[in-house]
Amino acid sequence: MLFPWPDFLRVTLQCSAQALLIVITVNGLVGAILAFVGAVQLNKFGAGIYVADLVGIAVVREMAAVMTAIVMAGRTGASFAAELATMQSNEEVDALKVMGMQIGSWLVLPRLLALTLVQPLLYVFGCAAGLAGGLAVATGMMNLSRTAYLDRSALVLIPSHFVLGSIKSVCFGLLIGLTGCWQGLQAARTAAGVGEATTRAVVTSIVWVIVLDAVFALCANALGV
């Protein structure tokens, strides 16, 4: 079976290195916002140090995976849908079919593989950025010492949080990749069809990411994770 290595490498680069800055920025700001909101409330009870618990657990278990997925849905999922829809309208997909190429292995698989492999790595960077954002607010606004914040974070962040977040990010990567490719290949063969496919890919991905995250939360709660 032929595999489009150049296409795979191009897509991998597109959804990894080229997406890193925006993933770090968004997750860093989310960590900072969580810390700010938590600080205001927790300080009322003299429990400011627990902002490290709030930011650490929220970022690692939920927000890094979800926010990274939303960024990737808007960026890479949309790109997959637009590219495949354009190929569809230009008859490039038909040209592949006529040659007996399997569209699944030639067009969908490299994109799915790239996004599924890259998503957990982006999640790790998202976690680091979110925790750093929380740390910046905690030390800058609440006069907590960096050591106290980091010690508290190390205490509450157990491996199962990271495992859960990583599993989610893999599932989100698969979901976004599949949705983008599916919508692109189902697009009408018109310029408007490309736009509609892109919009549907982004909206569907984001909605299902949130639904899937809710399912994960229920399952994790039921399993005591």
Q: Which of 100, 147, 159, 222 touches other proteins (CB under 8 A)?
A: 100
Q: Which of residues 6-35 bind other proteins (CB under 8 A)?
A: 6-7, 10
Nearer to other proteins, 10 or 146 (CB): 10
- In Å, how far are 65, 108, 129, 137, 218 from 133, measured between CA atoms? 16, 36, 6, 7, 27
In one-letter notation, the amino acid at residue 95 is A
In one-letter notation, the amino acid at residue 87 is M
Does 92 participate in binding other proteins (rule CB under 8 A)?
yes
Please state, in angstroms and rounded to a whole number, the distance separating the CA atoms of residues 28 and 133: 5
Does 46 participate in binding other proteins (rule CB under 8 A)?
no
Q: Which of 19, 69, 87, 157 touches other proteins (CB under 8 A)?
A: 87
* Residue 145: both structure tokens together: 């010492």
Does 146 participate in binding other proteins (rule CB under 8 A)?
no
SS3 content of the chain, % helix, strand, coil (to 5): 90, 0, 10
**Stretch near other proteins under the rule CB under 8 A, chosen from 59-67, 95-103, 117-125, 157-165:** 95-103
Residues that bind other proteins (CB under 8 A): 2, 6-7, 10, 87, 90-92, 94-101
